[in-house]
Each structure stands twice: as C-alpha cells, then as structure tokens.
Amino acid sequence: MNTNSIVNTLLIAGAVTLAMPAQAVPLDQGTWKSTLQARDLDGINGIDAFYDTVLKITWLDVNQGTMDWNTAKTKFNGNDAGGYTFGGYDDWRLPTIVDTFTAPKTSDDGCNWSNSGTDCGYNVQTTSGNAVYSEMASLFYNTLGNKGYLSSTGVNQSDFGLKNTGNFNSVQSDFYWSGTEYAPNPNVAWLFYTGYGFQNADTKYDQFYALAVRPGDVAAASVPEPETLLLAFTALAGLGFVRRRQTVGALAI
C-alpha cells in the first residue's frame, strides 16, 4: 500500500485530525527541558527558535503554512541565493532524513511499513553515534518523548501521537516535509507525520508543513533566563533608588 492510499484510508476513517493546535501545556517527558534552549532571533515577540544541543541545529518555531515540496525546498534552501531569511540568518533548510536503502521499498511512492524500521514506518532510527538519521524523528521521539501508533513490537499504543510539543508554539499534528528526495522516484520526497509518529515518502505536489532548521546555535540572541531578568530588574530598581536619594540630597543643600 502506498502513502496516498494509507492517508486516504485514515482520512475516510476519521482517524486523522489535521492542523491540530499545538499542545497548550508542555509535558514532562522526553529530553526537551535539558536539550532545547530557547532563542529570540528577531527581538520582537519573544521565543521564536530553539537550539537543539543533541542534533546541534536550531529549530525555527514560526508557522510557515503548507506548501508543496518544491516550494518548500526552494524557500528553505540552506544559504543559497534567494533563500528564506529570519533573524538575520539566511541558511535555513528543511530537516534531513537519511535514506539508507535498508528498508524494503515498494515500486511507487513509499516503502513497506515496519514497527522499527530504519527508513520507513514507526520507531525509525533517529541517531547512531554522531550520525543523524532523521532530525524530525529525533525531535518527535527523543526530544519530545512522543510515541508512534505502534510500538517496536507492533502493539497499538493508546497514547500515540503529538501529545507533547514542549515549548514549541507552531508544531502541529500534521505532515512535515524533509529536504530529502526519495531515491527510487524523483517525484517523491520523504516526510514525517507527527499525528501517528511515522516516517514515509509522498509525491512532491502534496501540500504539507515545513519546519525549518539551521546548523549550529544562535547564542548571541539567546533569551535571558528568568533569574537573570530578575537580577537585572533588581539592579535597575536599586540604581533608581540611589539616584533619587542623590537628587533629594542635592535639593536639600
């Protein structure tokens, strides 16, 4: 069964809820509290990105809407001319998925599903040592601690899907493009579906979301910790008090 058939089946059955709002309350699961560091790139509306200390990339937390793969690939082209710019950075790209050619492939636009595949299906390989196999799968499974529709042994998991978004505001329960083409078919590209926690491939003309990333950190624009802000406000208040006393003393002389 190819990806389109699977998606159509899910839609007909009413099992898929597209464009579901992001989780309002962050859950205490996964590693996000210690591995995602908040960043404010434009200095306007607060946190709009997160540096991933494990993958060594920065996730842009700005909803880009849906688009076909070619549009997404052109927009987020990794520092090529005419690419997307945000917060002074123009090297945004789509997340990568490594096609290792180890999972069995179908003849058209997808791959045979597995409960613990390398490329396709649920619980796919995310990292191995310093090698990253799927940035989106790593974010979903490792960082946010979410579960796929099936466990690695094929057991249905009632608490599957995007239950936790951490502090992300734009991540939704939907399909997200990767920047990797599907090797057996140039009309197809890899994607990750956060609603069911699976990785597969689909035709490039479909309209899916794009979550942009860039290499490395943007620490220079980091958001101050609450304790730092408190100390700063305390210092300013103290300075204001001293100046008022100096002014009163000068008037009294």
Q: What is the pLDDT of residues 32-77, one digit of tens each?
A: 999 999 999 998 889 999 999 999 999 999 999 999 999 999 999 9
Task: Kindly state whether residues 196 and 232 are assigned to the same domain.
Answer: no
- Please tell me the predicted confidence (pLDDT) of residue 119: 80
Task: Kindly state whether residues 25 and 45 are assigned to the same domain.
Answer: yes
Burial class (CB in 10 A: 0-12, 13-18, 19+), 117: buried
Higher-pLDDT residue of 31 and 127 is 31
pLDDT category at 11 given cuts 50, 70, 90 is very low
pLDDT category at 81 given cuts 50, 70, 90 is low
Task: Kindly state whether residues 138 and 232 are assigned to the same domain.
Answer: no
Share of the chain above pLDDT 90, in %: 54
Give yes or no for a contact between 105 and 113, defined as CB atoms under 8 angstroms apart.
Answer: no
Q: How far apart are the first and last CA of the chain?
A: 90
Bridge-partner residues for 147, per DSSP?
161
Burial class (CB in 10 A: 0-12, 13-18, 19+), 13: exposed
Q: How far apart (Å, rounded) are the C-alpha atoms in residues 89 and 194?
A: 27
Task: Kindly state whether residues 240 and 138 are assigned to the same domain.
Answer: no
Task: Kindly state whether residues 40 and 60 are assigned to the same domain.
Answer: yes
Task: Kindly state whether residues 31 and 135 are assigned to the same domain.
Answer: yes
Task: Kindly state whether residues 140 and 181 are assigned to the same domain.
Answer: yes
pLDDT at 6 > cutoff 80: no
Task: Kindly state whether residues 177 and 76 are assigned to the same domain.
Answer: yes
Q: How far is CA 147 from CA 5, 18, 119, 161, in A?
A: 23, 18, 17, 6
- Please tell me the predicted confidence (pLDDT) of residue 126: 92
Joined tokens for residue 130: 């310093």
Say which amino acid occupies 84: Y
Task: Kindly state whether residues 19 and 39 are assigned to the same domain.
Answer: yes
User: Which contiguous run of DSSP H or E holds residue 124?
Assistant: none
Region 13-22: what's the mean pLDDT? 41
Task: Kindly state whether residues 153 and 111 are assigned to the same domain.
Answer: yes
The number of folded domains in the chain is: 2
- Please tell me the predicted confidence (pLDDT) of residue 237: 54
Q: How far apart (Å, rounded) are the C-alpha atoms in residues 138 and 125?
A: 8
Give yes or no for a contact between 39 and 59, defined as CB atoms under 8 angstroms apart.
Answer: no
Domain housing 175: 3-222
Burial class (CB in 10 A: 0-12, 13-18, 19+), 233: exposed
Q: What is the pLDDT of residues 93-124, one digit of tens each?
A: 999 998 765 555 554 445 667 777 778 889 99
Task: Kindly state whether residues 32 and 95 are assigned to the same domain.
Answer: yes
In the sheet with 66-67, reading across from the earlier edge strand, the strands are: 66-67, 208-209, 175-181, 188-193, 198-203, 121-122
Joined tokens for residue 125: 């390989």
Per the listing, tokens 């089946």 go with 9
Residues 6 or more apart whose CB falls under 8 angstroms from that of 3 comprise 109, 110, 200, 201, 202
pLDDT category at 253 given cuts 50, 70, 90 is low
Q: What is the pLDDT of residues 122-166, one digit of tens each?
A: 999 898 888 889 999 999 999 999 999 999 999 999 999 999 999
Q: How far apart (Å, rounded) are the C-alpha atoms in residues 168 and 59?
A: 9
